[in-house]
Amino acid sequence: MTKKIFFTPGPSALYYTVEEHIKTALKEQVMEINHRSKQAEAYYQSAVEGLKSLMSIPGDYQVFFLSSATEIWERQLQNLAIQHTFHFTNGAFSQRFFDFAQAWGFNAKQAQAEYGSLTAFLPGMIPEETELITLALNETSTGVAFPLEQVYAIKKAHPKAILAVDGVSAFPVVDLDFSQIDSAYFSVQKCFGLPAGLGVWIVSPQAMAKAQEKQAAGHIIGSYQSLPNLYKNGIKNQTTYTANVMNIFLLAKVCEDMLEKGISVIRSESNYKRAVIHNAISEHTSLTHFVEDEKLRSPTVSVAKVEGTSSQHFINALATKGLVMGSGYGAFKGQHLRVANFPTHSKEQFEQLADFLQAIEVS
Amino acid sequence: MTKKIFFTPGPSALYYTVEEHIKTALKEQVMEINHRSKQAEAYYQSAVEGLKSLMSIPGDYQVFFLSSATEIWERQLQNLAIQHTFHFTNGAFSQRFFDFAQAWGFNAKQAQAEYGSLTAFLPGMIPEETELITLALNETSTGVAFPLEQVYAIKKAHPKAILAVDGVSAFPVVDLDFSQIDSAYFSVQKCFGLPAGLGVWIVSPQAMAKAQEKQAAGHIIGSYQSLPNLYKNGIKNQTTYTANVMNIFLLAKVCEDMLEKGISVIRSESNYKRAVIHNAISEHTSLTHFVEDEKLRSPTVSVAKVEGTSSQHFINALATKGLVMGSGYGAFKGQHLRVANFPTHSKEQFEQLADFLQAIEVS
């Protein structure tokens, strides 16, 4: 049976080398070793070094492994703010971080944009007392990208606040200058093409200091996943609990593969594939771009509004060709098509996808 | 190259069917499907039903999937107590739950026993205002089992308190009557023989009600992993975040395999293997049982004190035969041997292990 090709925006297609790496992991008994053994430490170190090299993460930033990006929302609230948070929300995921802040009792404010758009950053918008500012570099539910120059402008305007960047479906494709942000995170089942079950948290010295400051002021910053405890274990190349060692091993391997391919090749292929799918959406009479402003369209998740029929019509037609497409998120289910453009997807797959899309008729 | 046999108490040897199931998962693209798809829901449902059937969990108890048993310590504190907790501590893991309660600001009391022993439960020992009582059914660091009749006596004496049972290295070998406890949890890399990266939380109606009561009183019970939110997703057979779908699939498969073998066969084989390793420890002139009281010796983790040399001497000698043995936990590293007796380990492997142990000379 031919395998399906997943264009869903996460979980998505495995990175094309992962199946072989899983077989190697079984052979080398990676899933059986102790998580505090030298062998596990070597995987941890290799994954950290690979990520730092691949995404040019500054040497004095920490990289920690947790269970998911969802968990990292909570850990950021526990470690990086005492009271005041501010959230750019423009989709289900950026909104959920704001909801978490409210659930945990923070004085949380938001700049809420219509889904498919974005509130532009303007000086004076964010209250001066804000400790933690959050935004999604790539809002996976709507396909809106946060322009990098705006990310950097926010930090420049609020140098004392911690700027947290959701890179879930953006990294390593989006070329973020980490030195201009404080906290960034992603889960591995998107662009890295791994099985779900691991979150990665990248933390600046300023963010590390904020957690210590909060603790020193007598506030609770958590237990095993507090930043000081993550650091205490991290410098030994260890996780704070029995983590998903297999995924850390796979992440190290995929970083090696991506480094060998070259991040600039990955990024330029991504641009090409984006152009192909954008063109296919523009040319189809029943599809329009959900994100009207071209400058805000995500490099990794393209969202098309379907007119004259349900998006299920397209999903079903593509399924007959073995292609699995995402539908709209939440309330947009049935109205949108979401197409992941991740490093594992080849140019040829995108060209074929565009051809198939074009041939789908809406009667 | 012959594979090593891991007798380490977690991560440990994979259950003997897991490698094939991982290959099936790759073939069926289990790691690529959406975690909210019908296919993923079917794995979830099958894992829950398998666990309920295997361990005779009452029908009105909930089974939830989180990232680790460590996480479940925190979630229990957030959901099942407002202020007063009580902890039976007799090893690194039961102690760590107490430490978490302190870190999160609870009024936490403990009955602290010497490692290798246990404080017997006596009426009046636990303050009346206690909301949450915790104990480890099997303290993995020391090999001490909590006698079941004492577990049940605690609940009878404190029916209004939530009784939380750490079954990390005990389930499904220990035959706990879940109707006499409120909260139980384990991680899958011990007796179930799966890759690390999934925790399972079993929750009684009384515990569900406690979380609602805490929330209704105006206290914060968390965000995505609060019991009401776990329930809201759980009734749809969904996790609250993009969880380790592969491991939920594998857990469903291993439950099927264990049900086919029969839990009574698994438990009687476990007894036999325990007798074999206990005898080997008793007979070796350089080994003694760390847990002096025979009634407290764990069915699944046997701990031997090494005399006249370091435990590394034994570990190295067994390594030449391809057997990987655990050393002592924490301060006991170098002094103890820890031997996992999990369902994947065969009677023949234990007989061979006993023979090899016997042949190790200490000069």
Nearest neighbour of B14 by CB, restricted to A31, A70, A103 = A31
Q: Cβ of A292: how many Cβ atoms within 10 Å?
A: 11
Nearest to B278 by CA among B265, B296, B258, B256: B296
Best probe of the B interface among A2, A6, A21, A32, by most B CBs < 10 A, is A32
Token pair, residue B25, equals 């998962």
Residues of B in contact with A246 (CB under 8 A): 195-197
pLDDT in tens, B135-185: 999 999 999 999 999 999 999 999 999 999 999 999 999 999 999 999 999
Q: Check pLDDT > 70 for residue B1.
A: no
Nearest neighbour of A70 by CB, restricted to B73, B220, B224 = B224
Q: In which band, very low, low, confident or very high, does the pLDDT at A224 lie, cut at 50, 70 and 90? A: very high
pLDDT in tens, A320-358: 999 999 999 999 999 999 999 999 999 999 999 999 999
Contact B223, B230 (CB under 8 A): no
* CB atoms B223 and A103 under 8 Å: yes
Query: What mean pLDDT is predicted for residues B308-335?
Result: 95
- Could you give the 3-state DSSP secondary structure of residue A52? helix
Query: What mean pLDDT is predicted for residues A290-315?
Result: 97
Angstrom distances, CA of residue A267 to CA of A71, A279, A344: 28, 18, 12
Query: What mean pLDDT is predicted for residues B358-362?
Result: 94
Radius of gyration for the alpha carbons in chain A, expressed in angstroms and rounded: 20
Best probe of the B interface among A15, A244, A245, A325, by most B CBs < 10 A, is A244
* CB atoms A244 and B22 under 8 Å: no
Nearest neighbour of A105 by CB, restricted to B189, B194, B220 = B220
Number of A/B CB contacts below 8 angstroms equals 145
Q: Cα distance from B193 to chain A (closest Cα, Å)?
A: 9
Nearest neighbour of B105 by CB, restricted to A10, A11, A220 = A220
Query: What mean pLDDT is predicted for residues B107-112?
Result: 98
pLDDT in tens, A238-288: 999 999 999 999 999 999 999 999 999 999 999 999 999 999 999 999 999
* CB atoms A68 and B19 under 8 Å: no
* CB atoms B26 and A29 under 8 Å: no
Query: B84 forms bridges with which residues in the sheet?
Result: B107
| CA gap A10, B217 in Å, rounded | 38
**Closest chain B residue to the Cα of A9, Cα to Cα:** B34
| pLDDT mean across residues, chain A | 97
Nearest neighbour of B13 by CB, restricted to A32, A196, A246 = A32
Best probe of the A interface among B242, B248, B325, B327, by most A CBs < 10 A, is B242
Residues of A in contact with B10 (CB under 8 A): 242
Nearest neighbour of B196 by CB, restricted to A18, A70, A245 = A245
**Closest chain A residue to the Cα of B330, Cα to Cα:** A36
CA–CA–CA angle B131, B83, B166 (5° rounding): 50
| CA gap A51, A65 in Å, rounded | 12
**Predicted local confidence at residue B10, as pLDDT:** 85
Query: What mean pLDDT is predicted for residues B119-125?
Result: 95
| Torsion, CA B136, CA B142, CA B143, CA B149, rounded to 10 | -40
**Quick check: pTM over 0.80?**
yes
DSSP symbols for A95-137 = HHHHHHHHHTT-EEEEEE--TTS-PPP-TT-S-TT--EEEEES
Backbone φ, ψ for residue B287 (5° rounding): -120, 140
Q: Cα distance from B20 to chain A (closest Cα, Å)?
A: 10
- Could you give the 3-state DSSP secondary structure of residue A336? strand
* CB atoms B11 and A31 under 8 Å: yes
**Predicted local confidence at residue A142, as pLDDT:** 96
DSSP annotation of A197 reads -
| CA gap B47, B268 in Å, rounded | 24
Q: Cα distance from A24 to chain B (closest Cα, Å)?
A: 12
* CB atoms A195 and B244 under 8 Å: yes
Based on the number of CB atoms within 10 Å of its own CB, is B189 exposed (0-12), middle (13-18) or buried (19 or more)?
A: buried
Q: What superfamily does domain B5-12+262-359 belong to in CATH?
A: Aspartate Aminotransferase, domain 1 (3.90.1150.10)
Q: Check pLDDT > 90 for residue A2.
A: no
Residue type, B117: S
Reported ipTM: the value is 0.97
Nearest neighbour of B3 by CB, restricted to A11, A29, A324 = A29
Token pair, residue A13, equals 């297609």
Query: What mean pLDDT is predicted for residues A289-294?
Result: 97
Radius of gyration for the alpha carbons in chain B, expressed in angstroms and rounded: 20
* CB atoms A243 and B196 under 8 Å: yes
Residues of A in contact with B198 (CB under 8 A): 197
| CA gap A305, A287 in Å, rounded | 6
- With a CB cutoff of 8 Å and minimum separation 6, the contacts of B242 are A10, A11, A68, A70, A187, A189, A196, B35
* CB atoms A26 and B22 under 8 Å: yes
A343 cis-preceded (ω within 30 degrees of 0):
no
Query: What mean pLDDT is predicted for residues A157-184?
Result: 98
Query: What mean pLDDT is predicted for residues A43-69?
Result: 98
Query: Look-up: residue for tokens 């369209």?
Result: A297
B58 cis-preceded (ω within 30 degrees of 0):
no
**Closest chain B residue to the Cα of A326, Cα to Cα:** B34
Give the distance from CA B20 to its chain's centroid. 24
**Predicted local confidence at residue A254, as pLDDT:** 98
Q: Check pLDDT > 70 for residue A1.
A: no
| Domain ranges, ordered by start, for chain B | 5-12+262-359, 18-260
Angstrom distances, CA of residue B285 to CA of B30, B86, B289, B338: 50, 40, 11, 17
The architecture CATH gives domain B18-260: 3-Layer(aba) Sandwich (3.40)
Q: Cα distance from B196 to chain A (closest Cα, Å)?
A: 5
In this structure, is the dihedral angle defined by the CA atoms of residues A81, A84, A90 and A92, taken in order, positive or negative?
A: positive
* CB atoms B223 and A19 under 8 Å: no
Residues of B in contact with A18 (CB under 8 A): 31
* CB atoms B195 and A31 under 8 Å: yes
Token pair, residue B100, equals 């978490």
Angstrom distances, CA of residue B123 to CA of A331, B179, B303: 55, 21, 30
Work out the percent of chain A whose per-residue pLDDT is above 90: 99
Nearest neighbour of B29 by CB, restricted to A3, A196, A222 = A3
**Predicted local confidence at residue B2, as pLDDT:** 87
Residues of B in contact with A13 (CB under 8 A): 32
Query: Look-up: residue for tokens 């004190």?
Result: B305
* CB atoms A196 and B222 under 8 Å: no
Nearest neighbour of A67 by CB, restricted to B3, B71, B105 = B71
DSSP annotation of B297 reads B
**Predicted local confidence at residue A104, as pLDDT:** 97
| CA gap A64, A71 in Å, rounded | 12
Q: HSE of B258 in the Cβ direction (CA atoms, 13 Å)?
A: 31
Token pair, residue B130, equals 């206690």
**Predicted local confidence at residue B363, as pLDDT:** 79
CA–CA–CA angle B197, B198, B201 (5° rounding): 155
Residues of A in contact with B244 (CB under 8 A): 195-197, 244
pLDDT in tens, A115-168: 999 999 999 999 999 999 999 999 999 999 999 999 999 999 999 999 999 999
DSSP symbols for A258-285 = HHHH-HHHHHHHHHHHHHHHHHHHHH-T
Contact A93, A140 (CB under 8 A): yes
**Predicted local confidence at residue B12, as pLDDT:** 96
pLDDT in tens, B94-105: 999 999 999 999
